[in-house]
Amino acid sequence: MERSSTRRSASRRISSWAPGSPWHWRAQGLHHDGHSIAGSARRRCPSPWTAGHSERDRQVANRPAFDARPAGLAGDAQGDTRHHGGAEKALHHYALDHYPAWVADIGQRDVLGAAGAFGENLATAGLLEDDVAVGDVFAIGSAVIEVSQGRQPCWKLNERFAQPDMARRVQASGRTGWYYRVLEPGQIAPDSRLERIHRSAPAWTISRIWRVFYVDTLNRSELVALAELPQLAEGWRRHARRRLETGRVEDWTPRLAGDARAD
């Protein structure tokens, strides 16, 4: 893939982001074959998680840009580095479009008043799990990033939202968001443009993969395809192989109710 020429040809007109109303703006000039979306870039507060407080609280940085690196945004931190972060989960993206649905589902919460409620580094409108596939490559700022996997929600969302079954709700809804690996390090600003510049596995959307893992859980043909999908993070391919070998679905309870084994 010639990224420089592809990047130029994929440019789209976008709206500006209004910091005063972070989840009410909508990008303009979107096209069905690609998106350029204004959004917010955020980083985590580097504090360990304790009861009543999540390390996934975010703050918009008081500086013009962040450095996106293979391990994530410079200065980004996780309290639980065993289960969170890493090259395949360098950046988390969540759709602002889902926020009104969550208000309808669980009621208005302070945490839903601004982008970052789900621990996302990138928040945009107009791009959903149905629109994004593993292997999709995006340019944002001067960085190039690639979709690696969906998100497996963990019990920490229960604490963050003061909702005992929040992680299960997120998983059941399919409104999970997704992760990126960083292909080319660069700078990302809160108003950077997000441009899709390449697709290698467009049939394998985040929504389709979610359905295989959480709805049609023992569909052998789908699991075989996922196990062999090179664009998908190895951890998820390993899950698919294990189901094929055992004929069983792994127990989700520890992750969803009390032990952050995956995210």
Residue 262 lies in a domain: no
Residue 98 lies in a domain: yes
Write the CATH number for 90. Answer: 2.40.33.20
Strand-pair category, 36-41 with 122-124: antiparallel
Residue 204 lies in a domain: yes
> Is 105 in contact with 169 (CB distance < 8 Å)?
yes
Q: Has residue 255 got a pLDDT over 80?
A: yes
**How much is the pLDDT for 61?**
33
Residue pLDDT, tens place only, 116-169:
999 999 999 999 999 999 999 999 999 999 999 999 999 999 999 999 999 999
Distance separating alpha carbons of residues 77 and 61, to the nearest angstrom: 13
At a CB cut-off of 8 Å and minimum separation 6, what does 236 contact?
149, 150, 209, 213, 226
Structural domain count, the chain: 1
**How much is the pLDDT for 258?**
85
Whole-model pTM?
0.78
Q: Has residue 232 got a pLDDT over 50?
A: yes
Average pLDDT over residues 168-192: 96
Distance separating alpha carbons of residues 159 and 94, to the nearest angstrom: 19
CA atoms within 13 A on the CB side of 161: 28
CA atoms within 13 A on the CB side of 143: 26
> Among 116-130, 167-181, 218-232, 247-261, which stretch is predicted with the lowest mean pLDDT?
247-261
Residue pLDDT, tens place only, 64-120:
688 999 999 887 654 444 555 689 999 999 999 999 999 999 999 999 999 999 999
Residue with tokens 């996302």: 120
- Residue 98, strand partner residues: none
Residue 167 lies in a domain: yes
Tokens of 81: 């580095």
**Which range of residues forms the domain containing residue 22?**
3-257
